[in-house]
């Protein structure tokens, strides 16, 4: 996740988040790249490998199978973790469609991460550690009910892990890790099973 960084020279002057958010809004990010805010700086994330996109497409297809009408799946949607002043752009976010439909059309502000029902992150070789640690803690602190981490670079072998029941201390009470090749069941409101043998490694 370290292709490029925008340093926050004004952060020490007392209004780091407002400055960073304004800068984030105004960035002209190259097509396919994503800009996130973490540790007081803006980080530019390069386009992922084709396998990464292939996994995202397969997860999205499965989720749509039983998805309630009031929910929608979003790609490249910025989410703000208010408790930590972080802004991430997950691979997939499931959120009530009404929140997106009624958002201010003139605003490019991120959505509140606490409104998400499920966030999916698919690791790339360069950002796997951030997805396993920083984003895990951030989504738990935000109260995201389910965090799905699809980690092709886990030292145990490629794994998909569903974390549930977030704590305010930045951890999840439960985790359900499965190696690629075994099914992973997502509970309601999704009520579907991911067939991880379909995921490219």
Query: Which residue reads 């959120």 in tokens?
Result: 95
Q: What is the predicted pLDDT for the residue at 195? A: 95
Q: Give SS3 for 189.
A: coil
Q: Give SS3 for 31.
A: coil
Q: What is the predicted pLDDT for the residue at 8? A: 46
Backbone φ and ψ for 113, nearest 5 degrees, come out as -60, -30
Strands 192-195 and 183-186: antiparallel
Q: What is the predicted pLDDT for the residue at 139? A: 98
The model's pTM is: 0.89
Q: Cβ contacts of residue 135 below 8 Å, gap of 6+?
A: 88, 90, 121, 147
E-only strand ranges, the chain: 4-6, 34-38, 41-45, 71-74, 79-81, 86-88, 92-96, 111-112, 118-122, 146-151, 159-166, 172-179, 183-186, 192-195
Q: Give SS3 for 68.
A: coil
Backbone φ and ψ for 142, nearest 5 degrees, come out as -75, -10
Q: What is the predicted pLDDT for the residue at 60? A: 97
Contact between 89 and 75 (Cβ < 8 Å): no
pLDDT tens for the chain, 201 residues long, are: 444 454 444 444 446 888 899 999 899 888 889 999 998 899 999 888 899 999 999 999 999 999 999 999 999 899 999 999 999 999 999 999 999 999 887 777 899 999 999 999 999 988 899 999 999 999 999 999 999 999 999 999 999 999 999 998 999 999 999 999 999 999 999 999 999 999 987
């Amino acid at each position: 996740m370290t292709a490029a960084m925008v340093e926050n020279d004004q952060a020490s002057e007392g209004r780091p988040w407002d400055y960073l958010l304004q800068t984030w809004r105004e960035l002209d990010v190259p097509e396919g790249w994503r800009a996130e805010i973490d540790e007081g700086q803006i980080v530019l994330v390069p386009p992922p490998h084709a396998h990464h996109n292939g996994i995202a497409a397969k997860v999205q297809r499965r989720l749509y199978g039983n998805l309630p009408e009031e929910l929608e799946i979003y790609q490249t949607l910025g989410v703000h973790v208010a408790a930590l002043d972080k802004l991430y752009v997950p691979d997939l976010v499931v959120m009530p469609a009404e929140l997106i439909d009624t958002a201010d059309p003139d605003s490019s502000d991120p959505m509140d991460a606490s409104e998400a029902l499920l966030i999916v992150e698919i690791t790339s070789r360069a950002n796997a550690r951030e997805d396993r640690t920083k984003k895990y803690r951030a989504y738990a602190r935000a109260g995201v009910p389910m965090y799905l981490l699809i980690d092709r670079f886990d030292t145990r072998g490629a794994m998909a892990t569903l974390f549930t029941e977030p704590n305010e201390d930045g951890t999840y009470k439960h985790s359900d890790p499965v190696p690629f090749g075994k099914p992973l069941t997502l509970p309601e409101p999704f009520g579907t099973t991911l067939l991880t043998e379909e995921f490219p490694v």
